[in-house]
Each structure stands twice: as structure tokens, then as C-alpha cells.
């Protein structure tokens, strides 16, 4: 999958990184760590408790020149919103199909030379008792590591710090991933 997105659109690809770095600094945010120097991986971002997560995450990605994609319901990609959704990095998924969302994204990874898909493990901004496991099974099926990205509103720090390689023991792996995020505070901690 190779298409032009907002991340590689001429002019924007050159002006958005310094603007993002300036805006984040002006608002008191720091960027920590580096995105992996890999062509393909699954990027999770947690905690996801607010609509503000998206613009902060986008600014961090622009600042670090990290091109990311996201998954969206197939209906977002038809009509006049279609080209805009794709340009913003969207990948259409159809939940009506017989194959699962996991299989659809694993196939997209298989057809791509370079691809990073950002996935919030909670699947919503509301409080959940249990994270969704799709990101884990996508990484396992595509034989890719999971990059642990975060937005900590308490410290005003965001970034990506380490890679996690799924072992297939989902209970043990999810416990380790959740433990990593335990000290990270979202904009609305009550929704974590």
C-alpha cells in the first residue's frame, strides 16, 4: 500500500514538522523517545481518554516525521469523505465481511513494504474494564512488534519508548503491556 497522505504531501511534509514542534513546545509538551526505525510495526497509543489525544498524537507524529495510518469504518471512505479519509491516513475496514478486522489488517500489512497503523487498545475514549485485543492479534498474525506509544497529560509528555514482541501467550503479554502503561495518566484519568 503506497499512497500520498498528509504526511508526505509536498509543502505540508516540510512545514508541518517545525510547526508541530513549535506548537507542542509552546503548550509545554515534551516528546520522549524515538519511533522504531522499522518499516512495519503496530503502534498502540494509550491511555485514550479524550478527543485531545488525536491532535497531540498527530503533532508528535508530524514533529518526528513518523507516517502513521489508522483504521476506520468502510463507510467513511465512500462519497466525498473517501479521498479526505485516505489522505489523512485512513485504512477502510469492513466489519460486514466474513473475514475479521484482524485478517483484513494483516493482509494490508502483507501487501505493504512500509506500514505503521496506530491503534488505541481501549477502542474508545470511555472507561473500559478490558482492552480490546485486536492490536495484539494483528501484530501476531503479521509477525510484527508492537511499539508502545503514550500521551501522558499529567507530565505533558508524549512519545514512543520501546518495542514489545508478542509471544502468543496473550494473558502474560497483555499483563506486561498494561503494567507498562500503569503510570501514564490520560486527560481524563477517571476513564482509564
Query: Is the confidence at residue 39, as pLDDT, over 90?
Result: yes
Rounded to an integer, the average pLDDT of 73-93 is 89
Query: Is the confidence at residue 28, as pLDDT, over 70?
Result: yes
Q: What is the pLDDT of residues 92-134, one digit of tens each?
A: 888 776 558 899 999 999 999 999 999 988 765 566 677 889 9
Query: Is the confidence at residue 42, as pLDDT, over 70?
Result: yes
For 112, residues 6+ apart whose C-beta sits below 8 A from its C-beta are 1, 2, 40
What pLDDT does residue 97 have?
Answer: 67
Out of 27-41, 60-74, 176-190, pick the least confident: 176-190
Out of 15-19, 22-26, 79-83, 111-115, pick the least confident: 79-83
**CA-CA distances (angstroms) from residue 132 to 57, 75, 121, 140?**
20, 22, 6, 14
* 98-130 residues labelled b (16+ CB within 10 A) or e (exposed): eeebbebbbebbeebeebbbbbbbbeebeeeee
Would you give the end-to-end CA distance of the chain in angstroms?
34
What pLDDT does residue 191 have?
Answer: 66
- Return the C-alpha cell found at 146: 508492537
Residue among 122, 113, 115, 110 at smallest CA distance from 91: 115
Phi-psi region of 191 (alpha: psi -120 to 50; beta: other; left: phi over 0): alpha
Query: Is the confidence at residue 149, as pLDDT, over 80?
Result: yes
Amino acid at each position: 500500500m503506497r499512497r500520498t497522505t498528509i504526511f508526505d504531501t509536498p509543502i505540508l511534509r516540510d512545514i508541518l514538522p517545525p510547526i508541530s514542534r513549535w506548537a507542542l513546545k509552546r503548550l509545554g509538551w515534551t516528546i520522549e523517545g524515538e519511533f522504531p526505525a522499522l518499516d512495519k510495526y503496530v503502534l498502540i497509543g494509550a491511555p485514550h481518554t479524550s478527543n485531545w489525544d488525536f491532535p497531540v498524537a498527530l503533532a508528535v507524529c508530524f514533529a518526528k516525521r513518523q507516517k502513521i495510518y489508522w483504521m476506520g469504518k468502510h463507510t467513511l471512505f465512500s462519497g466525498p469523505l473517501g479521498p479526505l479519509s485516505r489522505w489523512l491516513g485512513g485504512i477502510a475496514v469492513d466489519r460486514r465481511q466474513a473475514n475479521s478486522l484482524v485478517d483484513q489488517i494483516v493482509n494490508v500489512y502483507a501487501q505493504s513494504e512500509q506500514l505503521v497503523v496506530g491503534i488505541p487498545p481501549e477502542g474508545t475514549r470511555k472507561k473500559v474494564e478490558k482492552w480490546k485485543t485486536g492490536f495484539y492479534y494483528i501484530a501476531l498474525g503479521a509477525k510484527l512488534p508492537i511499539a508502545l506509544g503514550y500521551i501522558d497529560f499529567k507530565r505533558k509528555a508524549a512519545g514512543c519508548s520501546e518495542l514489545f514482541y508478542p509471544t502468543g501467550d496473550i494473558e502474560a503479554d497483555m499483563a506486561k503491556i498494561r503494567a507498562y502503561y500503569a503510570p501514564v495518566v490520560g486527560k481524563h484519568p477517571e476513564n482509564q
